Structure formats: structure tokens, C-alpha cells
A = this chain, B = another copy of it.
Amino acid sequence: MKIEIAGLDFEKGDGLIPVVVQEARTLEVLTLAYTNRAALVLTQSTGYAHYYRRSKGRVMKKGVTSGNVQKIVSILTDCDNDALVFLVDQMGPACHLNERTCFHKTVQ
């Protein structure tokens, strides 16, 4: 089944939708990010992941300074249309701490 951006529920999260970012080849979860309508349109039109960075209050292309960009392989949404998965081809490490994934710590 396919859905368009207009069918997504941006209202529940005050304009933002959480995005699970997953490496398409290994299926490793790289990071959890947020998108808004503008960032998602840019992601689709350019083929590279853009996010709404809550700490900066604006839309940014992932890896714009580091070069660690994410090429989009596919975008999925869930039954409620209020969460996304980006399957990506990750260039370099995803994490700003130079780790391959942001999820590199165990909760005990």
C-alpha cells in the first residue's frame, strides 16, 4: 500500500513526525530524528535525508557539514501515519560522536 505526504498525521506531534533511520543493508537503527512537512518534501525531491533539528529550530540536510549524508532507499509509514522509517544508505558514521550508530549504549 502507498500513501502520499498529504496523508500523514503531522498534527499529533505539533507539526513533527518521528523518523526511525535504518541502514538499508544491515537494518541497523542509526538514529531517531524528526521531520516536518518541509523537510519531508526536501527529502523526497533531493533523495537525501533532511530533518527538522529541534535543537536548532530549523530544517537541515543530514551530513551537510560532516559529509555523512544519507541517501534515501525507501520511506515507510505506520498504521497510524504518525511515524516514519527512512531506509538509507549511510555515508560514514551516523553519530556526531563518530560512532556508526547513535544507539551504542546498553540500558541495564
Contacts and interface: CB of A to CB of B under 8 A. Distances in A.
Contacts of A40: 107
Interface string A8-43: 100000000010101000111101100000001000
Total identical chains: 2
Contacts of A77: 103, 105-107
Interface string A97-108: 101001111111
A5 to B, nearest CB: 7
A105 B32 contact: no
Contacts of A103: 76-78, 83, 85
Query: 8 shortest A-B CB distances, which residue pairs?
Result: A27-B27, A78-B102, A32-B83, A75-B107, A76-B103, A2-B108, A1-B105, A79-B102
A85 B57 CA distance: 25
Nearest to A74: B106
Nearest to A12: B54
B29 A20 contact: yes
